[in-house]
Chain A
Amino acid sequence: MNTFFQLFVSGLATGSIYALAAIGFTLLWQASQTINFAQGEFIMLPAFFVLAGTQFLGLSFPVAMAIAVVLSLLLLGLGFKRIIIDPLLPHGVLPIVIATIALGILMKEGVKQFYTAEALPFPALFSDRTLNVLGAAISVQDIAVLLIALGAVALLQLFLNGTKIGRCMQATAQNPNVAEILGVPVRRMILYTFLINAGLAFLASVLISPIYLAKFSNGETLGLIAFIAAIVGGFNQIRGALAGGLLLGVIDNLSAAYVSASYRSAVPLILLIIIILVRPQGLLGKAEGRTV
């Protein structure tokens, strides 16, 4: 029972990081019908910005983090939208899928060629002490990660529901044409969405890299999991992506312990197939109108 509780909590911690990625994913989908297949690499890259700052430029850790935030917003937010998505949007979903897959390869290979192919340790933001809760050893880092990630999601919700810009963004996501008629600067709202996605990716990156080490190929699994979390929870809901992320984190941890190590990664995949078959709108999602 203690092991179960331990696995459950650490699963929630990694799950909350998956949730950040999944939320960014759904936001992009809502705002501009962009399925970002490079989402995993978006989470892999910012950690390397930080490491490049501390290792090559000799910056202190906080300064490197600050520069990495700006770089992430510029490249993964603004640059991604202007250079890749804007020209592709008129052509529909498929070219975006292909182009973001290619972008993922480019980012991965870029880090491998110009930085390193090895897994690098990333400074932990919190101590790795463990607390004794009801006989189970719970690490402080897990709790802190969980709190920060959930805090970020709560802030995001507050922003989307409580501010004028947030409401304009929701209107844009629901119906860009009507939003434009009502005077919402639709293009700027979409840009904000891309910036938020980049910010979430940065946060996920610095939270997960101390746990999994920073490696060029981290994006492969992260991207797939974020993607599955978004669909399982509900592709058109922030709540859904959050629930999906937490669920996947816990399931992943528990199945590693109780199913089998070799079929561990099959569990989320099977969950995905079952969800699509039984409840295609996701656990918390609302059914969208059928396209046909």
Chain B
Amino acid sequence: MSKRTLATLVAGLAILILLPFTQSNYGVFVLCSWLVYSISAMGLNLTLGYAGQVSLAQASFMGIGAYTTALMTMAGVPWPAAMIAAMVLCFVIGLLLGYPALRVQHHFLAFITLAFNALVVLVLRNEEWLTGGTYGIVGIPRPELFGLQTQKPLAFYFFVLALFVLMAVALYAIIRSPWGRAFKALRENPIRANSLGVDIRKTTLLAFAIGSSYGGLAGSLLAQLTQFIDPHSFGLTISLKVLLMVIVGGAGFFFGPILGALLIVLAPEFLRFTEGYYLMIYAVLVIVLMIFCPTGLLGLVERARTALKLRQNPNATTWEAGR
């Protein structure tokens, strides 16, 4: 990491710490949901951007995490235990789901996860004795930390921010480890990676399971943030929303999903004046983005940077300029 990136990161963190003080309660809520969706999208980015597997079930993992946390904390289990349980459960389910799916061709994970997400919503809706059915669960408590209540929006924001930073650092460590480099190698050229001794199936499976547990954590935070959950919040459309965050920002870029989540969480706020036409405008924007820039916004930035370097040094190869 160069000094400049480090300085940018510190500045970014300072903004994240100071920003909520300038915001109303609603503004803080929007910031919180941005961070929560960022965690979920970071997890999906590990699966999609680094290991190259399309998953359409991130919302169902958020759902599993949210319901686990809600049910356990409301039954009196301390919140750290409930949140860890949510992550572990999602990790295990990710393993169980991914193990058979990754046996076959790459797009089959997309199909299986699509069906899985629909099934999870059905179970959440139908098993009323446990999940409250379509009415959902109301009154999920927010965590208490060293005697400090996070019931107030600001306090809860800092709780979410702390976890966000923690998960981002953990993800960075995973990607930089030899093991994370194996993910990338797989995405770039699976056959070559295999010939160098990377176990394709085991590595992608772990990427998928870790990505799922990030979804689980995001779900528990979402449950505490809104203090109300219902099956509708974890349907296929939400999975697509998280997938869009990763793609719009730039799959395979560390900050891609965070940028994507910011845009997609803020979009409804900015497009509110369009009322009923909002979803149509949104859909058109997505199609246009896919046509002109399928690698996402950070991909666009990188392309511009490469072009600039090439102009400064016409003798450099594209590969050198891209470094």
Contacts and interface: CB of A to CB of B under 8 A. Distances in A.
B172 interface: no
Interface string B202-231: 000000000000000000000000000000
Contacts of B17: none
Interface in A275-292: 276-277, 280, 288, 290-292
A102 B240 CA distance: 10
Given A87-B291, A93-B107, A105 B279 contact: yes
Given A113-B280, A276-B111, A101 B240 contact: yes
A110 B294 contact: no
A266 B104 contact: no
Interface stretch (B81-89, B116-124, B152-160): B116-124
Contacts of A99: 286-287, 290-291
B194 A95 contact: no
B104 A276 contact: yes
B contact face: mostly helix, strand, loop, or mixed: helix
A229 to B, nearest CB: 12
A78 interface: no
B277 A113 contact: yes
A280 B280 contact: no
A99 B110 CA distance: 15
Contacts of B294: 88, 91-92, 94-95
Contacts of B71: none
Contacts of B103: 277, 280
B82 to A, nearest CB: 28
A106 B284 contact: yes
B126 interface: yes
A103 B294 CA distance: 15
Contact of B126 (A98, A231, A263, A277): A263
B286 to A, nearest CB: 4
Contact of B243 (A84, A98, A269): A98
Interface in B103-147: 103-108, 110-112, 114-116, 118-119, 122, 125-126
Contact of B122 (A84, A231, A265): A265
A265 B290 CA distance: 32
A290 B105 contact: yes
Interface in B37-92: 54
A266 B105 contact: no
Interface of A: 35, 84, 87-88, 91-99, 101-103, 105-106, 109-110, 112-113, 224, 227-228, 231, 262-263, 265-266, 269-270, 272-273, 276-277, 280, 288, 290-292
13 contacts: A93-B107, A96-B290, A99-B286, A102-B287, A105-B279, A105-B280, A106-B280, A109-B277, A262-B125, A266-B119, A276-B111, A276-B112, A280-B104
Interface of B: 54, 100-101, 103-108, 110-112, 114-116, 118-119, 122, 125-126, 190-191, 194, 200, 240, 243-244, 247, 276-277, 279-280, 282-284, 286-287, 290-291, 294
